[in-house]
Amino acid sequence: MKANVLKSVLLLLSMVIFLILALAFWVAKEKIVYHYRSGDLVHKVISVGPKKLTKAIQDRLPAKPEVPEKPRVAKKIVAGQKQSGVLTLDDFSERWMYLVGGKPEIKNFAKLFNQKTDEKIVLSYTRVSEPLEFWMVFPAEMDFSLEKLRYYDGDGSLKKPTKFYFIKRDKSKPGGIDWKRIPGPVYDGQKWREWENFDLKSPLSLYAMVVEYGDMMPDELELIGNWTSYVPEAYENKKATIGAHLGTNSYVWNIMQASNRGLYDEKAGLFKAFSGGRTRDYFDWAKLEPLKGEYTFAPSESGAWNYDTYYKWLHDQNIDILTCLKNNTTWSLKEFGYPNKNNENAVGHWTKLPEPVKPKDASATNLAKYEKEVQAYQADISKVRTNPESYRAFAEAAFQVVARYGSNKKLDPKLAKPFSNPTKDPKKEWYAQDRIPVVENPKPHQRADWKVDANGQYVQNKKIGLGYIRAIECDNETDATWHGDKRYLRPEQYAWLLSVFYDGHKNTMGPGIGVKNADPNIIVSTTGIASSSPSYFQAMIETWKQIRGWKKN
C-alpha cells in the first residue's frame, strides 16, 4: 500500500516538473514586457502566453490617474535683465514660432515647451509640400546664446527622422545674419522615454533654430543658454471710422455688362454704398493677356469687358480699388509645363520631372527608390520656384496693368504695350470669333477703344497714368492646399514671386517688369491667404530678409 502511494506521489511530482519545464520554455518564448506609468514612476510587468492572456493582463493594469490641468501662470518679465538656464515660454513668445507648411496647428507650438513629456505633438495636418519646417526666431534684443539642446524621446519610432539646424548671428554678414544652416541633432525615436542631450562645442549666438519635421516632433524641448529678457512694446492700433474698415470683393461682371455693353445700372447703384471705402477687384490674367505679350483692356479679349469704363466708374464713386491680379492663362499653363490645366495653379514654372508613383509592390527596395524619386522631385520644384525667371511673365503683365491704371504719367510710353493685330478687324471679329458686336450708332460706352495706326493695324489706344488704382495684390490665396502642390506656393517660393512682381527682383530683370517700375507710388499687397495663421507671412518675410535685405521698420 505504501509503495503504491509512493509511486503515485513520484508520478505526480514528475508531472509537476514537466509542467514547470514546459511553462518555463513557454515564458522564455512568449515573454512580453509591458510598461505603465503611475504618478511619476514607470513600472515594468512581464506577462506570458497567448495574446488573449496578455491582453487580459494589460487591461488589469492600473490606469494613469487623470490630474486636472492647471493653467500656466506666467511670470513677470522685466526687460533688460540677464538670464540663464532653460528658456521658457515666459521668456520666448509663441508669436516668434512658425511652421512652413499647410494649415499649421499653432496651438500645438507651445506644447513643445510645457514641461509635459507624455503627449504627442502634431504641428501640421496638411503635408502638401516637403519639407515641413518649424522655426523659432530670436529677436536681436534677446541676444540669445545657445549652449545646449535637450529633447525628450517618448513612445514610438520614426521612419523619417526630424532634423535640427541652427542659424547664427554674425555682424560681418549683411543684416548681421549668416544664413548658412549649421547641422544639429537628429531625432530618430530610437530611445524610449528618456532625454537626449546635444552639447554645442562653443556657445552659439542664435538667430533661429529650424526643425525639419519628419514623422513627429519630440515630446518636449529644452533650450539652455544665456539671454537678455525682452518685452516688445505693445502695438497700438490706429483708430479709424467704421467706413474705413468696410469694403467688398468684386469682379468686372458685378457692375459691367458683357460684350462692351456698359454698366448694369441696378448693380452699379448697389456699389455706391461703398463710396469712401474700397473694393478688392479680381482681375484674371487671362482677360488681360489672351496671347503672350498682347494686352487687352478696353475691351478685354475674354468677355469683351471694358476695364477703362469699369475702373473709371469706381474711381468716380470715390471707391479705392485694390486690383488682385490672379490665375493663369491658357498659354501660360502650357508654357509653364503643368500636366493639368487648372488655371489656379501657381503663376510660375513647374518641374519637368515626372511625378513619382508609389509602387504597388511595397518592398523595401522599391520604397527606398520611391523615396529618392520624391526627394528629387520636391528638390526640383523648389529649384524652379525659387528662380526669379519663373515669374517673369506674370510680373510683366502686372507692369502693364499699373502702367495704364496707376498714377505715373511720366512713364516712358514705349513700355506700355496694348493689343495690336495686323490682320483682324476688331470691330467685326477677334481671333476669328465674333465677340465684339457691331453696333449701329454706338453710344460712348459701346465704342471699343481702338484706332488704326500708321501701318493700318488696329490697336487699342495706349494710355498711361489714368490714376484709377492705388494698390495691387500679387495673386490670391497662394497658400491654398486644395489643388495640391501645383497650386500651393511655399512661403519662401512666394517671396521670390513677390520680389519679381514688386520691382523685377531689385531691378535685375530688365525694363517693363514689376509694378514699382510702372508706378513708384503704387501700394503692393501680399496675397490674401486661405489660412488664418500668420505663419505663411512670417516665413515669407524670413526669405525676403535673405534675398532682399530688410529694414527694422
pLDDT digits (tens, 9 = 90+) for 439-488: 444 444 444 455 555 665 556 778 999 999 999 999 999 999 888 889 99
Over 50: is that where the pLDDT of 114 sits?
Answer: yes
Parts of the chain belonging to CATH 2.60.120.260: 82-228
Residue 65 or residue 373, greater confidence: 373
Strand partners, 248: 279
Q: What cell was used for 354?
A: 515626372
Domain 242-349+387-548 has CATH 3.20.20: yes
| Residue 300, Cβ density class (10 Å: 0-12 exposed, 13-18 middle, ≥19 buried) | buried
Average pLDDT, the chain: 82
Least confident of 122-136, 207-221, 351-365: 122-136
Highest mean pLDDT, choosing among 44-48, 285-289, 425-429: 285-289
Over 70: is that where the pLDDT of 141 sits?
Answer: yes
pLDDT in tens, 19-54: 665 655 554 444 444 443 433 333 344 444 444 444
Axis-axis angle for helices 535-548, 491-507 (nearest 10): 40
Q: Which residue has the cell 476688331?
A: 426
- The residues near 89 (Cβ < 8 Å, ≥ 6 apart) are 72, 74, 110, 113, 114
The answer to whether residues 448 and 427 touch, using CB atoms and an 8 Å cutoff, is: yes
Parts of the chain belonging to CATH 3.20.20: 242-349+387-548
60-69: average pLDDT: 54
Least confident of 30-34, 213-217, 259-263: 30-34
Residue 436: the pLDDT is 42
Q: Domain 82-228, what fold?
A: Jelly Rolls (2.60.120)
What would the 3-class secondary structure string for 32-89 be? EEEEEEECCEEEEEEECCCHHHHHHHHHCCCCCCCCCCCCCCCCCCCCCCEEEEECCC
Q: What cell was used for 344?
A: 489656379
Strand partners, 85: 225
Q: What percent of the chain has pLDDT over 90?
A: 48
Residue 18: the pLDDT is 63
Least confident of 7-21, 39-53, 344-358, 525-539: 39-53
Number of residues that make up the chain: 553
How many other C-beta atoms are found inside a 10 Å radius of the C-beta of residue 327?
Answer: 21
519-547: average pLDDT: 93
pTM, full prediction: 0.81
Residue 62: the pLDDT is 54
| Residue 503, Cβ density class (10 Å: 0-12 exposed, 13-18 middle, ≥19 buried) | buried
Residue 16: the pLDDT is 64
* Residue 550 DSSP label: -
- The residues near 15 (Cβ < 8 Å, ≥ 6 apart) are none
pLDDT band at 215 (very low <50, low <70, confident <90, very high): confident
Buried b (16+ CB within 10 A) or exposed e, 96-125: bbbbbbbbbbbebbebbbeeeeeeebebbe
114-127: average pLDDT: 80
End-to-end CA distance of the chain: give it in Å, rounded. 108
CA dist., res. 392 & res. 512, Å (int):
10
